[in-house]
Amino acid sequence: MTEVLSLLPGWSCSPTALQPLADCLRPALEVRLEALPLSANPANWLDELDERLPRGGWLGGWSLGGMLAAQLAARRGGDCPGLVTVASNACFSSREDWPEAMPLATFEAFRESFQQDPAGTLKRFTVLCSRGGSAPRQSAQRLQALQHGWSPEALAAGLCLLAELDGRDALRQYAGPQLHLFGADDALVPQGGAASLQALLPQAQIEMIAAGHALPLETPELLSERIRAFILAETKRQRALGVRP
């Protein structure tokens, strides 16, 4: 039976941003690209995803999508055989007990900039996502082309989640296998976030890849190798233990 992996994109991006990665993962895995909710109420996002994403399959996501996938995995428990995140910190903005994240003042300035100039801020965001990659200008242009279908209200709701989500409890609570992949030159998630996450989750597999924040666009082949190997190995282990049919 082919394993199912539902993937969620990052803030402001359509699921098409994950298409290169999905193409590399198939046919070894059945990949479902899912959109983030477009509700202006961030409190509804997780419930909507829980209703829409298939149960019994792996959950994964990029950046904000990974943070939401972690929340959903913790909620579903045994109904989720595993979790994969890409460039996704436990907390996107820094806290006193989680400093390895975007400085709070920087994030608040970004939110204020979005309120005053949404289009310009979105463009600057794609530049930040692409920084550190092998072809940053090309990646930024591709990301800009994939920023569609969002209302300003939904984008603001996504920023609210980036500000408020603290995934540490969910990640600790979820008992299934976890793979967390980070970009070594990520301009949005500090390298220290990976080390802090490893300390938080000693049993999780955490790897650094030479790329920026836009790993799914920059290095889909390498990313897919890591994800495919992890999922297939964990599936084999679970079946050998009789955990799954």
Q: Where in the sequence numbering do the catalytic residues fall? A: 63, 186, 213
Whether the Cβ atoms of residue 147 and residue 14 lie closer than 8 Å to each other = yes
Strand partners, 85: 61, 180
Whether the Cβ atoms of residue 216 and residue 133 lie closer than 8 Å to each other = no
For 155, residues 6+ apart whose C-beta sits below 8 A from its C-beta are 11, 12, 114, 118, 122
